Amino acid sequence: MLIDQHNRIHDYLRISLTDSCNFRCAYCMPNEEIEVLPQSRLMSTAEIDQIAGVFVEQGVKKIRLTGGEPLVRKAFPEILDRLSKYPVELTMTTNGILVHKHIDQLKQVGMRTLNVSLDSLNRETFLKLTKRDQLDQVWNNILLLLKEGFRVKINAVALNGIIEKEILDFVALTKEYPLHVRFIEFMPFEGNHWKVDKVITAKHMLDMVKEAYDVVKLQDEPHATAKKYMVPGHQGTFAFITTMSEHFCGDCNRMRLTADGKMKNCLFGKEEMDLLGTLRQGKDILPLIKLSVHRKHAILGGQFTPDYQKTDAEKIQNRSMIKIGG
Amino acid sequence: MPSLTYIRINHWVNALSRVINMELIKNKIKVIAFGMVAEKMQTAELQLEGIPSTDVLRGYLYQQYPGLEGIKFGIAINKKLTSGNQIIPHEAEIALLPPFSGG
């Protein structure tokens, strides 16, 4: 079992399969950086399998596949196949554009829930954000997933100038579709031009929703990052992920593996343990894993003040989001 | 001929039950039904009295509205979804929510 110094059991592993993506969202993939990792630096299928195996032995019960965009990894089907043999809940976060090609396998390995990242329901805005004119295909794939019986959560980063115009449209989706829309407060990463005044807080967003709708507070599960709500009579729900205004570090159970095989004990942690390098030297990775968990900070990787409004993004040492996978 | 003690106890019991009755009568609640629940009940809004808990509320509703048979619904008290049996506070606003997927 992997327990840190703050008594948090870590049983949820997020594996980035690639730092490559077929979209170009500025807050994730800053323009300055189109240099993706060469194949040799990525964890191979076998290496992912081996490393995941060590984590599962230590009690990991849930694995999420991320990226970049996990589905652009050519070996995705093989990787999924290998991981499906572990007794874990498998899930994935994707931009959705390629999902139609993988539905059969996703069903076959028992993936029940998928998170689709979607920051705008407006075609022009979507194009501006992602640099791709593909909103229609993404939306069609969301509908396809629902039709095929998947539980679909939508992750919308709350970007100022956009979310104020669209939040009610997102909530309106939940009337007709059993979707779970989560609004994520904008977070600072290397090069993404984060500023305090760009953060639209959950409270502000909730107030906007309440102006148009009756809202009921739902119960949140343990280890949940999202605070859930619904409009009575709607089929779906909405929620806020309050990373900035109200962190949820207290019962964090998450660990991350970057595409180049480095372990991060926190999304905002600057320290990384080189599991892949160690594995390739034929050495045991478990001591490094335990060390990483042991060194995990209590809150926000030790790089933030409790009041997010005092955050100096320049001082935070971390990768860009594309290189972590969220 | 009842003893003085008996008379006093009886008097006290009567007074107490009047207070209890008054308290129960005072617990007025507004119940709003949504979606399919409202359809099956053929009404969207009720005023009820003397319902102390969500279990009692469910029992009452299933009994009074046979159309609800087999329909599961959630109960929110003052805009917070409840689970299990919860006490219903004074003048609470109750919402009856049709099934929805968890979130």
Residues of B in contact with A215 (CB under 8 A): 79
Is the ipTM, as predicted for this complex, more than 0.85?
A: no
Q: Nearest-CA distance from A96 to chain B in Å? A: 19
Query: Would you say residue A108 lies in a domain?
Result: yes
Report how many helices (DSSP H) and strands (DSSP E) chain A contains, helices first: 9, 12
- Whole-number Å distance between alpha carbons of A80 and A45: 9
Q: What is the pLDDT along chain A (326 residues), one digit of tens a residue?
A: 999 999 999 999 999 999 999 999 988 887 655 788 999 999 999 999 999 999 999 999 999 999 999 999 999 999 999 999 999 999 999 999 999 999 999 999 999 999 999 999 999 999 999 999 999 999 999 999 999 999 999 999 999 899 999 999 999 999 999 999 999 998 777 677 777 777 788 999 999 999 999 999 999 988 888 999 999 999 999 999 988 788 889 999 999 999 999 999 998 888 899 999 999 999 999 999 999 999 999 988 888 777 777 787 777 777 878 788 88
> Amino acid identity of A214?
D
- Our count of domains for chain B comes to 1
DSSP A313: G
Q: List, as ranges, residues 241-260 from A with C-beta within 8 Å of B.
A: none
Residue A185 lies in domain: 12-323
pLDDT of residue A309: 78
Indicate whether A47 belongs to any domain: yes
Residue B55 belongs to domain with CATH number: 3.10.20.30
A236/B81 touch (CB, cutoff 8 Å), yes or no: no
Strands B80-81 and B74-77: antiparallel
Let me know if residue B58 belongs to a domain.
Answer: yes
Do the Cβ atoms of B100 and A234 come within 8 Å? yes
Is B63 a member of any domain?
yes
Helix orientation angle between A45-57 and A286-294, rounded to the nearest 10 degrees:
60
Contact (Cβ atoms closer than 8 angstroms) between residue B35 and residue A176: no
Tell me whether B83 touches chain A (CB under 8 Å): yes
Indicate the number of domains in chain A: 1
B103 pLDDT higher than 80: no
Question: Between residues 14 and 73 of chain B, which touch chain A (CB distance below 8 Å)?
Answer: 32, 34-35
Residue B25 to chain A, least CA–CA distance (Å): 27
Query: What pLDDT does A194 receive?
Result: 76
Residue A230 domain-assigned (yes or no): yes
- Apex B61 CA angle, B59 and B63, nearest 5: 70
Domain carrying residue B88: 27-97
Residue B54 lies in a domain: yes
Q: In this structure, is residue B32 part of a structural domain?
A: yes
**CATH code of residue A41:** 3.20.20.70
pLDDT at B57 > cutoff 90: yes
How do strand A89-94 and strand A113-117 relate by DSSP bridges? parallel
Let me know if residue A73 belongs to a domain: yes
Rounded to two decimals, the pTM is 0.88
When CB atoms are compared, the residue of B32, B35, B103 closest to A218 is B103
> Taking CB atoms and an 8 Å cutoff, what residues of chain B touch A230?
81, 97, 100, 103
* Cα within 13 Å of Cα(A103), Cβ side: 16
- Which chain A positions have a beta carbon within 8 Å of B41's beta carbon? none
User: Is residue A297 in some structural domain?
Assistant: yes
Residue B13 domain-assigned (yes or no)? no
On whether residue A184 sits in a domain, the answer given is: yes
Q: Which residues of chain B make contact with A235, given a CB cutoff of 8 A?
A: 100-101
Specify if B22 maps to a domain.
Answer: no
In a domain, B46, yes or no: yes
* B63-85 confidence digits (pLDDT tens): 999 999 999 999 999 999 999 99
Contact between B103 and A228 using a beta-carbon 8 Å cutoff = yes
Contact (Cβ atoms closer than 8 angstroms) between residue A65 and residue A54: no
